[in-house]
Amino acid sequence: MPKGIEIEINGKTYSAEYPPDTPLLYVLREELGLTGTKYGCGEGMCGACTVLIAGTARRSCQIPLSAAAGKPITTIEGLEKNGALHPVQQAFLDAGAFQCAYCTSGMIMSSVSLLRVTPDPSDEQIVQSLQGNICRCGTHPRIIEAVHLAAKKMQEQAR
Amino acid sequence: MSETNKLIAFEPERYEFHALPMHQFALERRDFFKLLGAGLAVFAVAKDALAQETAPGGRGFHNEELPKEIGGWLHIGEDGSVTGFVGKVEIGQNVRTSLAQTIADELKVPFERVRMVMGDTALSPFDMGTFGSRSTPTMTPQLRKVAAAARNYLLEKAAKQWNVPAEKLVAADGKIIQAGSSRSIAYTELVKEDLWVGRIPSDEKITPPQEWKIAGAPMEKVDGRAFVTGKHQYSTDLRPQGMLHGTVLRPPSYGATVVSYDDSAAKTMKDVVLVRDGDFIGAAAPTAASAQLALDALQVKWKEAPQISDKEIFAYLKKNANPSSEERFRQKQGSIEDGLAAASHKLNATYNVAYIAHAPLEPRAAVAQWTNGKLTVWLGTQRPFAVRDDLAATFHLSEKDVHVMVPDTGSAYGGKHTSDAGLEAARLARAAEGRPVQVVWTRQEEFTWAYFRPAGVIEVKSGISADGKLTAWEFHNYHSGMSAIESPYAVDQYTEYHSVPLVLRSGSYRGLAATANHFARETHMDELAHAAGTDPLQFRLNNLTDARMKAVLQGAAEKFGWPRKKTSEGQGFGIAAGFEKGSYVATCAEVLANPRSGTFQVVKLVEAFECGAIVNPDGLRNQVVGAMIQGLGGALFEAIQFENGKITNDHFSSYRVPRFRDVPQIETVLLDRKDIPSAGAGETPIMAVAPAIGNAFFDAMNIRLRDLPLLPERHLAG
């Protein structure tokens, strides 16, 4: 077996005994049971597997384990704090911004990443940063609404 | 033929479902209480309410005296929880929420107390499947009748206890209350250790939509929190103890068969379960990567067979149509010959529709486990009972030894009717000595081995009189299907569906062939309107007698501001409408074409939709907008490309689906007809999108597009 690679996920450190070129997605889903991060295409085209690496949205199916080591990784499971939803999660609930919800984890992670850099995004900025995330159910208008809603909440909280 | 040969050869379903299997309820009375806790289990059914979806006779409840047909049943626990059991599944259409609303509304309990058990073959009543927009129209009256029967039963029980006439009592908020007094008793008190079975009269009084309180109001998705936290487990996320990851070796092209097989290297690999059964070859291992390594180590030679390619598909479909179509494929009203003879203007046109993929974001996936010769399978499917029957037939089991469960699924759109991943996982698991095996299709497998919305050729021959009235309408659909083949306009018509042997694996898709048939019909209607020199909206209204269809046309037109004046070059407006599965739709489109830059944009879509009494306006709006956006893909750019038995655009990078930038301004008009029973809404809202856009393109460019996808940019470039 290859030597374990240490990765930090949602504040915890794990040793993953996988080849270093294994995509992070498979380690999350198979080894760590963090199945909130979804497989949609395996080639970075759908965004279902989006996680935050050092706060920035990345497609975990395209990130080799070796490249993920040493950086804080956040998955959808790591957004909730002490039983309270992240404002983006709450906004998706409030806006009813999902149907089958299989894309939702990726949409939420991409939105969290956007709002970190752009606290009050325009429609165009939201479209730009979610363009890589596919929603097959066609919930796009409500997802845009949810991001605006979250932005508003987060700005209120920051005040 | 080995059993897995049969597995691969299993013919995909197409539009109609004939065989209704016989079923037995697997649970004994005492098992219900063990499973659900003490309380009241209510089975009640009105025979006529089940006309749509019952298997013929034979089903029973072992030796218990139960009606032969059960559509839905419910349990009221001593803790106050209410559980509704249906064979329908949740695939994103939010029916879990709307059915719970229906039960809460009729039983008079708070919404939060109701949960639904769905698509579980051991607990749910038999169900043909979640398709055809049938869940709302069939399950709403059935569950209401069951809930009304339960409520009345409790009311009479309280009346007996108090020795007062039942007419003096009312049900509200989970209690029976004596009118004009402070006396009340909670359902929880009344339901202790009870089982009531009754055949309710077909005219059992249920609450009319005008009096709905919990139904008819917007309601958040049940379990929404589990979805935004990533905690909900789809079939792809299940991780039972000891689970292996399975993967299947796919043939290099359609119709390829195994010539030689050498597993000498693969079978030395540690912890790998290898299966070859006819042309089925697969491996299971503790990680998906190690299962794949095993498949990579196999030496397999295939024999490939010549296949039709996309370049020749439409000519092929026309040429290979079955020369003698069945009687039920033909419909005739009045005389086409007389109508054409009376026409002052005649038009013939042909419309082509490409194969498209459902591309559900959660690919086909299943987990299977064998325990003492019994098989349990979890998978995302629209037809759990049909999957159970496939598994039973494939593995020579009795139906009662197969248990299928459907976790809420990452969408389907008509694409998850078959058993594929379940059969594959079960075959691998049979070799895995009791360990569960999961099979999750890759995106390329989805694009290649799932089935498609069939391609089609549609020919229309029509005539209009000098005053713009339709005089004749002849409509032929080759291969794509019969849904909505008849024109809703007032005209003498002849319609015919021509079946063609399958080229690519084909099956249901949201709305079935209704999208193809509406594209042809509503494009043709637009052509006739222009020929008549009449406004396209007015032309339709002039040829309609159906008031509901007029209402959606007028509703959409009013919101859109039809007729609109053009304010810029390249701007165009289009309208289209239709009727299918009990619901009506009309869509207006605004487009902007720029021939110089070769760019095209759908600027705005306005859609009016009417499906009778609305159960959950919030969920309905999500479905309608979702169908419109999904419809953009098939309208503008989605098409499966294939050559020599291979799908050549089997990635999201080459098969384009609608993304955020493709989404125009969208407005909806939901007409709530409380005087009309609720119809389904999952399909019809997709139908008029493509013809509305195509008609708007004509308005902008004076170029008529008769093929789907429209590929407008291609027509601008030249």
- Confidence class for position B6, pLDDT limits 50, 70, 90: very low
Task: Verify whether the Cβ–Cβ distance B661 to A127 is below 8 Å.
Answer: yes
Q: Which of B225, B212, B530 is nearest to B347 (CA)?
A: B530
The CA distance from B603 to B349, in Å, is 28
- Predicted confidence at residue B26, as pLDDT, reads 42
Residues of A whose CB is below 8 A from B628:
138
The answer on A60 and A11 residing in a single domain is yes
Burial of B58 from C-beta contacts in 10 A (0-12 / 13-18 / 19+): exposed
Task: Verify whether the Cβ–Cβ distance B93 to A99 is below 8 Å.
Answer: yes
The CA distance from B526 to B504, in Å, is 32
The whole-number average pLDDT for the span B674-682 is 93
The beta-carbon contacts of B160-165 under 8 Å, at least 24 apart in sequence, are B161/B185
The answer on A147 and A91 residing in a single domain is yes
For residue B521, is pLDDT > 50?
Answer: yes
- Predicted confidence at residue B47, as pLDDT, reads 47
Q: Which of B361, B440, B442 to mutate to test the interface with A (most CBs of A within 10 A)?
A: B361
* Residue where one domain finishes, among candidates A78, A106, A121: A78
- Predicted confidence at residue B127, as pLDDT, reads 81
Using CB atoms, pick whichever of A41, A100, A105 lies closest to residue B443.
A41
Angle at B429 between CA B428 and CA B432, to 5 degrees: 100
- Taking every pair of Cα atoms in chain A, the longest distance, rounded to a whole number of angstroms, is 51
- Confidence class for position B199, pLDDT limits 50, 70, 90: low
For residue B11, is pLDDT > 70?
Answer: no
The per-residue pLDDT for range B527-560, each reduced to its tens digit, is 999 999 999 999 999 999 999 999 999 999 999 9
Q: Which of B153, B125, B146 is nearest to B46 (CA)?
A: B146
Bridge partners of residue B667, in order along the sequence: B606
CATH 3.40.50.720 correct for B37-220: no
B131: Cβ contacts below 8 Å, ≥ 6 apart: B382, B383, B414, B417, B508
Look up the domain containing A104 and give its range. 87-158
B555 phi, psi to nearest 5 deg: -65, -45
Between B108 and B149, whose confidence is greater?
B108
The CA distance from B651 to B363, in Å, is 13
For residue B565, is pLDDT > 80?
Answer: yes
Using CB atoms, pick whichever of A30, A39, A100 lies closest to residue B409.
A100
- Predicted confidence at residue B64, as pLDDT, reads 31
For residue B194, is pLDDT > 90?
Answer: no
Q: Using a pLDDT cut of 90, give the percent of chain B over it.
A: 79
The CA distance from B202 to B46, in Å, is 5
CATH architecture group of domain B320-355+452-717: 2-Layer Sandwich (3.30)
Q: Which of B370, B458, B380, B372 is nearest to B415 (CA)?
A: B380
The whole-number average pLDDT for the span B206-229 is 94
Kindly state the tokens that stand for A146: 């949810």
Kindly list the domain boundaries of chain B, sorted by start residue: 37-220, 235-304+359-449, 320-355+452-717
Q: Using a pLDDT cut of 70, give the percent of chain A over it.
A: 98
The whole-number average pLDDT for the span B652-657 is 98
Nearest residue on chain B to A139, alpha-carbon basis = B626
A68: Cβ contacts below 8 Å, ≥ 6 apart: A7, A24, A53, A60
The whole-number average pLDDT for the span B448-460 is 96
Task: Verify whether the Cβ–Cβ distance A77 to B237 is below 8 Å.
Answer: no
Average pLDDT, chain A: 96
The answer on A92 and A150 residing in a single domain is yes
Task: Verify whether the Cβ–Cβ distance B409 to A105 is below 8 Å.
Answer: no
Measured between CA atoms, how close is B234 to chain A, in angstroms?
A: 8
For residue B716, is pLDDT > 50?
Answer: yes
Burial of A153 from C-beta contacts in 10 A (0-12 / 13-18 / 19+): middle
Which range has the worst mean pLDDT, B1-15, B368-382, B665-679?
Answer: B1-15
Nearest residue on chain A to B365, alpha-carbon basis = A39
Residues of B whose CB is below 8 A from A102:
92, 234, 360-362, 410-411
The per-residue pLDDT for range B54-111, each reduced to its tens digit, is 333 333 332 233 343 556 788 898 899 999 988 999 999 999 999 999 999 999 999 9
The answer on A39 and A19 residing in a single domain is yes
- Predicted confidence at residue B19, as pLDDT, reads 28
The DSSP string of B283-331 is EEESSHHHHHHHHHT-EEEEE------GGGHHHHHHHTS-SS--GGGEE
- Predicted confidence at residue B174, as pLDDT, reads 96
Using CB atoms, pick whichever of A22, A77, A96 lies closest to residue B221.
A96
The answer on A74 and A96 residing in a single domain is no
ipTM value greater than 0.90: yes
- Predicted confidence at residue B48, as pLDDT, reads 44
- Predicted confidence at residue B54, as pLDDT, reads 35
Between B197 and B611, whose confidence is greater?
B611
Task: Verify whether the Cβ–Cβ distance B658 to A39 is below 8 Å.
Answer: no
* Residue where one domain finishes, among candidates A30, A49, A78: A78
For residue B21, is pLDDT > 60?
Answer: no
Q: Which of A90, A102, A103 to mutate to test the interface with B (most CBs of B within 10 A)?
A: A102
CA atoms within 13 A on the CB side of B260: 4
CATH number, domain containing residue A108: 1.10.150.120
CATH number, domain containing residue A54: 3.10.20.30
Which helix (H) or strand (E) covers residue B106, if one does?
helix B95-107
The per-residue pLDDT for range B123-139, each reduced to its tens digit, is 888 888 888 888 888 88
Task: Verify whether the Cβ–Cβ distance B93 to A139 is below 8 Å.
Answer: no
Residues of B whose CB is below 8 A from A26:
287-289
For residue B647, is pLDDT > 90?
Answer: yes
B718: Cβ contacts below 8 Å, ≥ 6 apart: none
For residue B438, is pLDDT > 50?
Answer: yes
The answer on A48 and A31 residing in a single domain is yes
For residue B296, is pLDDT > 70?
Answer: yes
Which range has the worst mean pLDDT, B88-92, B362-366, B688-692?
Answer: B88-92
Q: What is the pTM of this model?
A: 0.93
Residues of A whose CB is below 8 A from B363:
39-40
Measured between CA atoms, how close is B229 to chain A, in angstroms?
A: 6
The per-residue pLDDT for range B316-331, each reduced to its tens digit, is 999 999 887 788 899 9
CATH architecture group of domain B235-304+359-449: 2-Layer Sandwich (3.30)
The per-residue pLDDT for range B500-511, each reduced to its tens digit, is 998 999 999 999
The whole-number average pLDDT for the span A49-63 is 98
Question: Is residue B521 within 8 Å of B470, Cβ to Cβ?
Answer: no
Average pLDDT, chain B: 89
The whole-number average pLDDT for the span A60-79 is 97
Q: Using a pLDDT cut of 70, give the percent of chain B over it.
A: 89
The CA distance from A35 to A22, in Å, is 16
- Predicted confidence at residue B595, as pLDDT, reads 92
* Residue where one domain finishes, among candidates A44, A78, A112: A78
- Predicted confidence at residue B173, as pLDDT, reads 96
CA dihedral (B487, B493, B499, B502) in degrees, to 10, reads -30
Domain tally, chain A: 2
The per-residue pLDDT for range B579-605, each reduced to its tens digit, is 999 999 999 999 999 999 999 999 999
The whole-number average pLDDT for the span B8-34 is 39
- Predicted confidence at residue B39, as pLDDT, reads 76
- Taking every pair of Cα atoms in chain B, the longest distance, rounded to a whole number of angstroms, is 85
Nearest residue on chain A to B93, alpha-carbon basis = A99
The answer on A73 and A97 residing in a single domain is no
